[in-house]
Amino acid sequence: MKEITLLGATGSIGTSSLQVLRLHQDEFHLHAAAACSSVDKMLAIAREFKPHRLAMFDKDSAKKLRQQCLDENLDCEVLEGEEGVIEIAGDGEAAQVIDAIVGAAGLKPVLAAVKTGCEIGLANKEALVMSGRLFFDEVKKYNAKVLPIDSEHSAIFQCLPGGLQRTLGFCDLEKYGVKNILLTGSGGPFRTTPLDELENVTAAQALAHPVWSMGPKITIDSSTMMNKGLEFIEASYLFNAPGETIKILIHPQSFIHSMVAFKDGAIMAQLGQPDMRTPIARALGYPERLESGVNLLDFVQAGQFSFVAPDFNRYPCLKLAIAASKMGQGATTTINAANEVAVEAFLKAQIGYMDISRVCAEVLEKTKHDNIYNLEEIFQADSVARECARKVIGNF
């Protein structure tokens, strides 16, 4: 029985992960799960999957959940607060810890998991964007193993030769003849919207993604292509890839999840339905292949595949994230934090859609970007950027 800990168990990736686990109850057991405040969903998880431990970031929610577990005689410890989430992530009982928490909140828990030397199923791209170098130094130090869940990075991982799959964070791409990483993206719901209409886009419009069904933050990020920008940074750390080797390609049908181009002219692609259960199953079962519940892609039904280069006037966030990637970890932490604050403000209708990129640009411009490395410096840069973003928003 392989013990799994699932951080962010009540979200979109968390729910898809549970769907895959449900298909393999003889092989996997959910050791522990964490969420922020979704008590009802956590109770349902406790009933069905019988985990040993649960943690809720929100302390009141933890108290409610603890009482309900007691009332139902569920033999399950409930921890609370950030410490509780970090404790279950790092208790060393799981063979694999999946980090599907959204945003910067996933960083400390996943680093605690890394220290146990387990497998890390990594969906939480923001953690890597903030700490890439430190994260992989820790992975090496504690002999942990990273299995990407972000669909593009899972695709790239699957296209890479075994020697590179085993050295994530330190890949020698040149040695294996890798010339380019082709990171694909759908282009989001506003790929063809006239540019002058973008200012007036509402949260409801931006939340309706044409292909993927995901949590609210990443859905907005997908529409601005900040998501692809964060993925660019994520890929640069995961595959030790210099910026100029990563090419971004818009592929609206989202059947090709990304590609790797080699120096002899060969290009490997990973294809499939746009369904996160496939990359989740790849991570959970690695090196074995698992049933995921996803049907095979029908090429005749899928029809035409098309590709177009991204237009930076339409997607200024993408341009900013690529620029931040070149500046280093101080800048990637900064843009990630500024974007989190801006997206939250946009969802609350405090700023307009195109203001998201304006906030990020202004925060990047107004803050200093030293080449930060340790956790303290990372969280310092994160909080400076958040404060600056709030001020910028206040002045709109």
Give the footprint of Mg ion on this chain (CB under 5 A). 150-152
Least distance from Mg ion to the Cβ atom of residue 152, Å: 5
Q: Does 62 bind ligand NDP (CB under 6 A)?
A: no
Strand arrangement, sheet containing 246-250 = 246-250, 178-185, 256-262, 267-271
Q: Does 132 bind ligand NDP (CB under 6 A)?
A: no
Residue 35 binds: one of ligand NDP, Mg ion, none (C-beta under 5 to 8 A by kind) = ligand NDP
Least distance from ligand NDP to the Cβ atom of residue 389, Å: 18
Q: Report the residue number, 186 or 245, with the smaller CB distance to ligand NDP.
A: 186
Residue from 17, 38, 325, 357 in contact with ligand NDP (CB under 6 A): 38
Least distance from Mg ion to the Cβ atom of residue 234, Å: 8
Q: Does 125 bind ligand NDP (CB under 6 A)?
A: yes
Least distance from ligand NDP to the Cβ atom of residue 82, Å: 7
Residue 330 binds: one of ligand NDP, Mg ion, none (C-beta under 5 to 8 A by kind) = none
Quick note: the x/- pattern for ligand NDP over 145-184, rule CB under 6 A, is: -----xx---------------------------------
The Cα–Cα gap between 69 and 293 comes to: 30
Q: Report the residue number, 128 or 392, with the smaller CB distance to ligand NDP.
A: 128
Least distance from ligand NDP to the Cβ atom of residue 124, Å: 4
- Which residue's CB comes closest to Mg ion? 150
Q: Does 57 bind ligand NDP (CB under 6 A)?
A: yes
Q: Does 105 bind ligand NDP (CB under 6 A)?
A: yes
3-state secondary structure the chain: CEEEEEECCCCHHHHHHHHHHHCCCCCEEEEEEEECCCHHHHHHHHHHHCCCEEEECCHHHHHHHHHHHHHCCCCCEEEEHHHHHHHHHCCCCCCEEEECCCHHHHHHHHHHHHCCCCEEEECCHHHHHHHHHHHHHHHHHHCCEEEECCHHHHHHHHHCCHHHHCCCCCCCCCCCCEEEEEEEECCCCCCCCCHHHHHHCCHHHHCCCCCCCCCHHHHHHHHHCHHHHHHHHHHHHHCCCCHHHEEEEECCCCCEEEEEEECCCCEEEEECCCCCHHHHHHHHHCCCCCCCCCCCCCHHHHCCCCCECCCCCCCHHHHHHHHHHHHCHHHHHHHHHHHHHHHHHHHCCCCCCCHHHHHHHHHHHHCCCCCCCCHHHHHHHHHHHHHHHHHHHHCC
Among the listed ranges 30-38, 200-208, 311-319, 379-387, the one in contact with ligand NDP (CB under 6 A) is 30-38
Least distance from ligand NDP to the Cβ atom of residue 323, Å: 20
- Which residue's CB comes closest to ligand NDP? 11
Residue 39 binds: one of ligand NDP, Mg ion, none (C-beta under 5 to 8 A by kind) = none
Least distance from Mg ion to the Cβ atom of residue 274, Å: 10
Which residues contact ligand NDP by CB under 6 A?
A: 8-14, 34-38, 57, 85, 100-102, 105, 123-126, 150-151, 212, 214-215, 217-218, 276
